[in-house]
Structure 1
């Protein structure tokens, strides 16, 4: 009988310890959920309806690139050579950009990172876009509020002349419209 009592007490203590540890894990999960909620609440790029900020930069070919020089719908793509999802999305972006009305003149691709590391991306993107290579705090990324890669946005001029985002997460699998 004393052995049975000892086993029941031991099992009770283990159940109590398990309950305490489970409550601790639940408390930590709630804290992490709050932290993740606050991080995800920050936009990772400009949202639909927001105006594209001022920028003044040059493409890899030395062409001047400024917000006020852009007209018509513009497709913006942002990639980083150190980002694995960027490598996966790059071929779809290139194919989508090929179908853009206005061709290469309506597509701007920005590669964020070291110029040597960006060479592979630049080669592929140069066929279909004006390409800019810049640091993480560069003019293009700042103007479009980019905080995550890859990011693909579409912007157009409003009737009042402002360049605003019309699509903040372009679906690259969808064909573009070829309307005049």
Structure 2
């Protein structure tokens, strides 16, 4: 082997070094972007992992709470939170109005619905329950942490919450 042959390929060496440097910079940049995306996904995942209002965690927090304003009559009460413009609320409101076993109190929030949706919800509730209208985030909803609708609560004679669900069927199953 001659020495001229060994160094003949030396000219492309600066190109190889430049290519390695460029690729290293790209890999580091890719890693930084990947870690940033993972951090953002972790934040969103934590938000999604939080129980929604009315979820099992909220139900456990609601159970056993006493609502003195509903204990005055000494009767079993069914309290329902409904929002205008909410299709499941209209379905549950009709069942709620027909429920014969308890005094019924419906808390109605305007929601995103217009007057027509509010009127439909009031029609579905009928004359049977007592209807209390309060703004979104009103005193009762805020006190109980109600953020999703419909939310149905069953209170015993002392005004203590014994069950909380999103439908009467689930409420009945939860009490049985």
How far apart are the structure 1 equivalents of 2:60 and 2:139?
A: 14
Unaligned runs of 5+ in 2: 1-11
TM-score normalised according to structure 2 size: 0.63
Tell me how large the CA RMSD over aligned residues is: 3.8
Question: Higher helix fraction: Structure 1 or Structure 2?
Answer: 2
SS of 2:106's partner is strand
SS at match of 2:144: coil
Instruction: Give CA deviations for 1:45-74 in whole Å, capped at 9, x if unaligned.
Output: 9611110142xxxxxxxxxxx6412512x2
Q: Does 1:20 align with 2:28?
A: no
**TM-superposed deviation, 1:80:** 1.7
Q: Are 1:44 and 1:148, in contact at CA under 8 Å, matched by a contact in 2?
A: no
What SS does structure 1 have at the residue aligned with 2:154? strand
2:164–2:171: 8 Å Cα contact kept in structure 1? no
Structure 1 gap segments, 5+ residues each: 55-65
User: How is 1:153-164 mapped onto 2 (pairs within 5 angstroms)?
Assistant: 153-157=153-157, 162-164=158-160
Q: If the length of structure 1 is used for normalisation, what is the TM-score?
A: 0.62
Aligned residues: 154
Give 3-state SS (helix, strand or coil) of 2:27's partner.
helix
Using the TM superposition, give the Cα deviation of residue 129 of structure 1 relative to its aligned residue in structure 2, in angstroms.
2.5
Q: In 2, Cα distance between the equivalents of 1:17 and 1:154?
A: 56
Confirm or deny: 8 A CA contact 1:44 1:147 kept in the other structure.
no
Separation (CA, whole Å) in 2 of partners of 1:44 and 1:176? 14
Structure 2 match to 1:76: 79
Structure 2 CA distance for partners of 1:39 and 1:175, relative to 1, 3 Å? closer
Deviation at 1:163, TM superposition (A): 0.9
Specify the alignment match of 1:145 in structure 2.
144
1:42-121 correspondence runs (5 A):
43=58, 47-54=62-69, 67-69=71-73, 71-72=75-76, 74-82=77-85, 86-95=86-95, 97-98=97-98, 100-102=99-101, 106-113=103-110, 116=115, 118-121=118-121
